[in-house]
Amino acid sequence: MIALISQYTGVGPFDMETVVTRPIEEVVASVENIEKITSTSAQGLSLVLLEFDWGTDMNQAEIDVRNNLEFIQDVLPQEVDGPLVFAFDPSQQPVFYLALSSETHGMAELRRIAERDLEPRLERIPGVASAFTMGGMRREIKVLVDPARLRAHNIPIEQVSAALQLGNLQLPAGKIENAMQEFTVQTAGEYGNLGQIENTSVRVMNGSVIRVKDVATVVDGFVEQQQKVWNNGQSAVMVVIQKQSDANTVQVCEQVRNRFAQIEAELPKGVRLKTVVDFSEFINRSMSNLGNTAIQAVGLTVLVLFFFLRNLRSSLIVAVSIPVSMIVTFAVMDQAGLTLNIISMAGLALAVGMLVDNSIVVLENIFRHRELGEDLRAASHNGAAEVSMAITASTLTTLAVFVPVLFVPGLAGELFNDMVVTICFSLTVSLLVALTLIPLLTSRLLHLRDQQHKHAWLAKAGDTVGGWLERLQHIYAAGLKWSLEHRKTVAFSALSLFLLSLIILASLGGEFLPQSDSGFVAIAVDRAPGTSLEAMETSMAEIDGIIRANVPEAKNTYINFGQGEGIMAFFSTRTSSEGDVTLGLTNLSERRRTQFDIQDDLRGRLKTIPGVEARFADRGQEAMFGGGSDITVEIFGHDLSRAEALAHAVADQVKGIKGVAQVESSLRESAPELRVNFDRQRLADLGLSTAHLSRLVSTSVLGSVVTRYREQGDEYDVRVQLVKDARRNKEDIENILIVTPAGKQIPLRAVAAVEYSRAPIEITREGQERMVSVNIDIAGRDLRSVTNDVQAALRQVSVPNDFRIEIGGIAEEQQESFIYLGLAMLAALLLVYMVMASQFESLLDPFIIIFTIPLSSIGVALTLLLTGSNLNVMALIGIIMLVGIVVNNGIVLVDFINQLRARGRGLFEAIMEAGRARLRPVLMTALTTILGMLPLALGLGESGENWAPMARAVMGGLATATVLTLVVVPVIYAIVEIKVEKIRQKRAARA
């Protein structure tokens, strides 16, 4: 994303749109790879955001934008500052908040210490991009001008500004030299104390000097507060740390914490530092949780191996493939430039159960050859060779399904890139381990021992398990025999189950990503436009009191309200009537309520505060979508008054929908303003300009920083401004003194009409069109269901011909991602079929095996339904994974049937024998994968909810597919082979 920021002091939203925003939009629209152009025109500010396609070279894009902007430098008014081009990376969001406190230093001194001492030290830490300070008070030298004294001396306020600028100059004056030395000449014209400012000459009149102190009062004070910051109910000075785009959040935050003691020791005595927000804590807890999940998966996998093999050495031989595969995977990841993050760690946790699949098939076949009487070396060689093509094909099918995911555009593709690559690396390594290390270890370590050599309890357990497996084989053999005799019934039942699964999937709720407890509650607070900072402070204090009384889980409360500060202020048009509240919660394991329970509780309580609107934001969504709402109804049209009426109609229609928690229009209530309308003819007659008078009004009311005052190495603004009592109401503005070029005094009302009016706080555009959005946040219901109801409600709204309505927000991202992932699934099916066709050198065998995929859908549907999971991007990725996983058992089964038939077995004899022989490895590979994903499917701990739908989809789909594959695939194989044989016989008869 690239932001273009322009400032034009004193200009309202409509004029900013016309003279600044629209020309900029038009000239940058031709830059390649722009996906969306959005803009905001506010009082004195134009912000144009350029969103680019994922994967765009942002360095080149920035160069192209700068080149295009050169064409409008002569078009924009000269008074416009900018546009400033800022390449904005979401990964540069703040990662750490520090608070300064002291019993010996005031808020102004703490602010100075933070800016002068703390910021430079923090910015020297590797990985830190910037540090900026919020809150506290900043020293400022105020020159408060008395309009009555200005009139008495016939001096305009801009003459005071000019005098101060000229009286505070230090310029080089060249050099002189003689035969021995050379001297530089420097004029020492800077102010050394406030008395010199007061005595600055403004004008000489009738032989007497009019000084600054004659028309103004010089005050050593503070900048008028536009923003306030609290930490746990107390005023605070906060330092916000942003990381570099390529830096690791955990490493940066760790280095900041490690430098705490050293930095604190270097600060003035009595100043203490406190961590308010550390976003690496959630990441660390999530990583730890995923690591524990992976360890639990390894333990469950080893237990499954021991249960089936009943041989400790065999189990350990297979289990060793997990650490070996992971170690090699880490090395490959390092060479590929991948880091161990939440996404890649989740990939490893998902892959744990699959890492042993190939090794199980190889070991089980070696075991079978050993039981047939072959010596250890021959059994290891022959057993591995016999299944090498089958497991290679099965691994390739699993890898093939991930290839389309890598090419999925948009956020979904970027989100899973590291996970997909990590899984592919680990599965490839596991195949190599199965074909090399496992035969090597079995040839040295695998021995078939008599029962008397075992411990009695182990022998008894082995006999018990063996008895279970034998009974299971007998039951399966009987069931398979019956199925082969009733092929049509089995096929019809499988088709019915598939259709039932489609009905269940269609009835499930839908969302983009699962709700995840991040440990933070973020609240955006609004009051009516024009609300003063003091009134806002009263409301924020009431909110803080409610939080303190009702949220014992909050370990830190951070509140800021008013206009933004620092670099983040460039991306915000926030006013004094807006604020933010962030609650840092205790660890998930230490509290009974989730983040969402707390939000629901606070949502009801905050509604009781008069005049306050509170909207709950999601930190994860803010990072990915720029703070977008769940559903955004976008209204495009030029006439803002009609757009506002249409927005109200939309809001009225959607407010009653179940699950809608908050409805807010971007075109909020207009802010009260005093509008100065110049009489251009009168100005021309008097030799005045609108630019000159606009600056005059701005200096009088807002004030102008005219120079800088230096003291002990620090610099402070010198601001010229009317005294506060002379800028309180409409009459004060009308009486602002103007001195014409002819020296005549006139009030502002003589050349302009000052009128009360209301103007929109900001004008939003998208795609170079005016756009008003109705932002909808949901709670207690899934996104897809609410979106469907919103779309139905919009059909009841009468839309004028020159307007149109579109759905945006996260709902739009969800719809696009579902479409792209659906296409990726179709591509995965095609790739899997092609891999199997090349392995079997047949088009029919892959066609038979592909039937395992719809068989998995019933398990997916039932598992998601029973666990209360919605259909989201995570679940869809799990379904895509299933496409490559569930065919593996079919490949092994069909491959062995073909081998037996090649050795002379009859059709049904080969099917029965292959089914019995492959029952154990099929169940083992399925159970290791299923139980390996069980810890992830439970969704426990930090970020556990994110990955649970994916694991649940794989577990449920694989469970049903495994059971049905052992029955349905042989039946389909028999049906196809009988049909093919009949066709051959007919052709032979014709010949």
Residue extents of the structural domains in the chain: 2-88, 92-138+225-278, 140-169+189-222+672-759, 283-434+442-448+455-513+815-990, 537-617
Taking the whole predicted model, whether its pTM rises above 0.75 is answered as: yes
Which of these CATH numbers, 3.30.1490, 3.30.70, 3.40.50, 1.20.58, describes 537-617?
A: 3.30.70
pLDDT tens digits along 918-939: 888 888 888 888 888 888 888 8
- Which residue, chain included where needed, has tokens 């890649």? 344
Q: Which helix (H) or strand (E) holds 47?
A: strand 45-52
The fold for domain 2-88 equals Alpha-Beta Plaits (3.30.70)
DSSP 513: S
Whether residue 452 is predicted with pLDDT greater than 50 in this model: the reply is: no
- Return the pLDDT at 453: 46
Distance CA 3, CA 976 (A): 61
Amino acid identity, residue 428?
T
Whether residue 837 is predicted with pLDDT greater than 80 in this model: the reply is yes
Residues in the chain: 991
pLDDT, greater one: 93 or 51? 51
Average pLDDT over residues 468-488: 87
Residue in 92, 37, 89, 21 with CA at minimum distance from that of residue 59: 89
Topology match between the domains 92-138+225-278 and 283-434+442-448+455-513+815-990: no
Rounded distance, CA 644 to CA 649, Å? 9
Pairing of strands 139-145, 714-722: parallel
DSSP string covering 678-714: E-HHHHHHHT--HHHHHHHHHHHHT-EEEEEEEETTE
Residue 227: closest CA among 534, 8, 10, 13: 534
Position 670 scores a pLDDT of 66
Whether residue 546 is predicted with pLDDT greater than 90 in this model: the reply is: yes
Would you say 542 and 600 are in contact if contact means Cβ atoms under 8 Å apart?
A: no
Q: CATH fold of 140-169+189-222+672-759, please?
A: 3.30.2090
CA 590/CA 171 separation, integer angstroms: 63
Tell me: pLDDT of 654 over 90: yes
Say which residue, 13 or 861, is predicted with more confidence: 861
- Report helix, strand or coil for 675: strand
**CA gap 595, 600 in Å, rounded:** 9
Positive/negative CA dihedral, 976, 981, 987, 989: negative
Poorest-confidence range of 203-217, 300-314, 939-953? 300-314
Cα four-point dihedral sign 304, 307, 312, 317: negative
Position with higher pLDDT, 46 vs 356:
46
Where do the DSSP E strands lie in 76-215? 81-87, 94-102, 128-135, 139-145, 172-177, 182-186, 201-205, 208-211
Q: Is the CB of residue 928 less than 8 Å from the CB of residue 489?
A: no
Mean predicted confidence (pLDDT) in 428-449: 84
Please give the Cα distance from 605 to 608 (Å, whole number). 6
Helix (H) or strand (E) holding 578, with range, is strand 578-585
CATH code of 283-434+442-448+455-513+815-990, in short, is 1.20.1640.10
Burial profile 961-986: b = 16 or more Cβ within 10 angstroms, e = fewer: bbbbbbbbbbbbbbbebeeeeeeeee
**Superfamily designation of domain 92-138+225-278:** Multidrug efflux transporter AcrB pore domain like (3.30.70.1320)
Flag whether pLDDT at 451 surpasses 50.
no
Letter for the amino acid at 291?
A: G
